[in-house]
């Protein structure tokens, strides 16, 4: 028996059965942790991606005084290499760098090798292949959510210039046939 996250109106009072021989298209594992006090994020989940050749660099700007311990993000392929950089909020100075390789696709928390005291900053990640961005609005009859992006939240690096993902000119430069929302990057304290 499994419990869902949608409340007691779904399934049988919020529970459902899964047979031992049920084939799963995608397995998901969640590990709970009390290692962190706060997570800053703009996205509601990874539903889409943007790309530009072999790699792409995207960033989220955050404001929150504290000790940055980790960065959360999604990967779409096995053995995906990521380069993480923490910038000042104006993208003028790199204050931290770390590279990592993620073995399996999914959501991951990347622990920083050194914790950082931060206030106003940007977390940038260079992804091999595509970068995860938030998808569009979603509805399944009784449950729905809507998404959006505000100026100054998410950026993409194009030709050595940080461009705001909320700007229609940026979407045009990327050659997208959809409107991306925020980058799927979380700052974890």
Q: Quote the pLDDT of residue 27.
A: 57
Q: Quote the pLDDT of residue 67.
A: 97
**If we measure between CA atoms, which residue out of 133, 127, 131, 151 comes closest to residue 44?**
133
Judge whether 77 and 106 are in contact, CB under 8 Å.
Answer: no
| CA pair distance 106, 26, nearest whole angstrom | 10
Q: Quote the pLDDT of residue 95.
A: 97
Digitized pLDDT (tens) for each residue of the chain, 189 residues in all: 677 666 777 778 877 777 777 766 555 556 667 788 899 999 877 679 999 999 999 999 999 999 999 999 999 899 999 999 999 999 999 999 999 999 999 899 999 999 999 999 999 999 999 999 997 777 777 677 788 899 999 999 999 999 999 999 999 999 998 888 999 999 999
Judge whether 76 and 107 are in contact, CB under 8 Å.
Answer: no
Q: How far apart are the first and last CA of the chain?
A: 34
Q: Is 181 left (phi over 0), alpha (psi -120 to 50) or beta?
A: beta
Q: What domains are there in the chain, each with its CATH number?
A: 34-188 (2.60.120)
Cβ-based burial of 26 (10 A; exposed 0-12, middle 13-18, buried ≥19): exposed
Instruction: Kindly state the helix (H) or strand (E) to which residue 169 belongs, with its residue range.
Output: helix 168-174
Q: Quote the pLDDT of residue 187.
A: 98
Backbone angles phi, psi at 179, to 5 degrees: -95, 115
Cβ-based burial of 121 (10 A; exposed 0-12, middle 13-18, buried ≥19): buried
Cα-based angle 16, 20, 26 (whole degrees, multiple of 5): 80
What's the token pair of residue 138? 């979603």
């Amino acid at each position: 028996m499994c419990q869902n996250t949608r409340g007691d109106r779904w399934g049988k009072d919020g529970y459902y059965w899964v047979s031992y021989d049920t084939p799963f298209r995608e397995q998901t594992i969640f590990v709970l942790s009390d290692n962190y006090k706060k997570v800053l994020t703009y996205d509601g989940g990874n539903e889409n991606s943007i790309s530009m050749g072999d790699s792409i660099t995207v960033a989220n700007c955050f404001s929150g005084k504290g000790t940055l311990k980790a960065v959360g993000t999604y990967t779409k392929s096995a053995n995906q290499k990521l380069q993480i950089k923490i910038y000042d909020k104006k993208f003028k100075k790199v204050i931290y760098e770390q590279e990592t390789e993620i073995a399996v696709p999914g959501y991951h928390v990347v622990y920083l090798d050194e914790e950082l005291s931060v206030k106003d900053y940007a977390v940038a990640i260079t992804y091999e292949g595509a970068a995860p961005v938030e998808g569009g609005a979603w509805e399944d009859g009784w449950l729905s959510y809507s998404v959006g992006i505000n100026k100054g939240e998410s950026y993409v690096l194009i030709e050595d210039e940080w461009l705001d993902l909320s700007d229609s000119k940026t979407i045009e430069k990327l050659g997208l046939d959809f409107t991306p929302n925020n980058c799927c990057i979380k700052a974890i304290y």
